[in-house]
């Protein structure tokens, strides 16, 4: 099946899901959480695609995009969702989630028919998960994490961040560009003496250095924070599904969701808003 959608009785099987719907499904479906929790899939152009060079690449501007092959073979690399029209006045299945004013508030659908995305661990999605776990990219990341964890097992937060900077061979200038953190913060990191970092700064590092869930969650916990709270779900989504996206792209998702932006003052100054 190469088409993005195929009709099945009263529902549609679709490879497309919006970023807000992704958050809804994440909050309500533990199976889906398990699928994306290791960063095996990345959100791109309305799809959750296997995070592998065969399907994901960077364009000339350094932005992630689907490869030409992935675009014409969505069935070989994307998770699938069932979308069933739900008619009548009332709220969609996930209406209890407060999306915030910028996402339209609580999702009362009025009298219109509202598509409700549903994730199932069916044959197709199990196949996609198995393929994701068997990629050379996944194996390399797993081994890299093991080596890094052994190296930094007794490091504090700042020391661990600097170890990531060295691991990724990132200059001070590039670090600032990717995280929107200033030189003073970089010096704290390099000195290994940065106590009580703000949550906002910790997340900016995780996003800017593309740490994903594997490297990001341990770092967040090392800083004394947790992503288990409901109000921090969008930041967990950034780790699970937006690995490799720039802080600017991640902020656009947070803005759509209605969540606090990362390095908001610096971000708005940089983009001129």
Cα 123 from chain centre? 24
Q: Are residues 140 and 256 in the same domain?
A: yes
Answer with the one of 133, 157, 190 that is the final residue of a domain. Answer: 133
Q: Where on the phi/psi map is residue 130: left (φ > 0), alpha (ψ -120 to 50), or beta?
A: alpha
- Summarised one tens digit per residue, pLDDT across range 60-102 is 988 999 999 999 999 999 999 998 765 443 333 333 233 333 3
Answer with the one of 109, 133, 157 that is the final residue of a domain. Answer: 133
Q: Are residues 121 and 142 in the same domain?
A: no
**CA separation for the pair 19, 25 (Å, rounded):** 10
Tokens standing for 114? 């509202």
Q: Are residues 126 and 161 in the same domain?
A: no
Strand order across the beta sheet in which 81-86 lies: 5-8, 11-14, 81-86, 114-118
Q: Between 230 and 59, whose confidence is greater?
A: 59
Distances (CA, A) of 60 to 43, 51, 57, 99, 251: 19, 19, 10, 34, 21
Q: Which residues are 50's β-sheet partners?
A: 41
Q: Are residues 244 and 222 in the same domain?
A: yes
Q: Are residues 144 and 105 in the same domain?
A: no
Q: Are residues 13 and 117 in the same domain?
A: yes
**CA separation for the pair 19, 31 (Å, rounded):** 18
Q: Are residues 110 and 79 in the same domain?
A: yes
What does the pLDDT read at residue 201? Answer: 97
Query: Directed axis angle between helix 212-222 and helix 157-168, to 10°?
Result: 150
- Please give the tally of structural domains in the chain: 2
Is the model's pLDDT at 117 over the cut of 90? no
Q: What average pLDDT score do residues 118-132 get?
A: 96
Closest CA to 202 of 188, 182, 216: 216
Q: Are residues 15 and 109 in the same domain?
A: yes
Q: Are residues 103 and 176 in the same domain?
A: no
**Domain range for 84:** 5-133
Q: Are residues 236 and 253 in the same domain?
A: yes
What does the pLDDT read at residue 137? Answer: 85
Query: Directed axis angle between helix 247-257 and helix 233-241, to 10°?
Result: 140
Q: Are residues 41 and 66 in the same domain?
A: yes
- Summarised one tens digit per residue, pLDDT across range 185-201 is 999 999 999 999 999 99
Answer with the one of 101, 133, 165 that is the final residue of a domain. Answer: 133
- Quote the percentage of the chain above a pLDDT of 90: 73
Do residues 49 and 124 touch, judged by C-beta distance below 8 A? no
Nearest-5° angle of CA 24, CA 62, CA 246?
A: 40
């Amino acid at each position: 099946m190469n088409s993005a959608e195929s009709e099945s009785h009263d529902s549609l099987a679709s490879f497309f899901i919006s970023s807000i719907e992704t958050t809804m499904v994440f909050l309500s479906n533990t199976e889906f959480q398990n699928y994306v929790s290791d960063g095996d899939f990345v959100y791109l152009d309305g799809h959750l695609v296997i995070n592998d060079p065969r399907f994901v690449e960077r364009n000339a501007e350094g932005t992630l995009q689907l490869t030409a092959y992935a675009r014409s073979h969505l069935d070989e690399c994307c998770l699938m969702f069932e979308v069933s029209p739900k008619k009548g006045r009332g709220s969609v299945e996930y209406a209890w989630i407060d999306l915030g004013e910028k996402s339209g508030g609580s999702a009362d659908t009025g009298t219109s028919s509202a598509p409700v995305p549903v994730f199932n661990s069916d044959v197709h999605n199990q196949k996609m998960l198995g393929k994701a776990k068997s990629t050379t990219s996944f194996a390399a990341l797993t081994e890299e994490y093991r080596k890094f964890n052994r190296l930094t097992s007794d490091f504090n937060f700042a020391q661990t961040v600097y170890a990531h900077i060295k691991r990724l061979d990132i200059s001070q200038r590039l670090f600032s560009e990717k995280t929107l953190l200033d030189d003073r913060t970089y010096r704290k990191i390099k000195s290994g003496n940065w106590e009580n970092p703000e949550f906002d700064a910790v997340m900016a590092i995780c996003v800017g250095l593309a740490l994903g869930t594997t490297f990001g969650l341990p770092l967040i916990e090392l800083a004394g924070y947790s992503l288990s709270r409901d109000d921090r779900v969008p930041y967990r989504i950034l780790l699970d599904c937006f690995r490799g996206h720039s802080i600017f792209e991640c902020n656009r998702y947070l803005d759509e969701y209605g969540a606090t932006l990362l390095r908001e003052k610096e971000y708005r100054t940089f983009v001129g808003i």
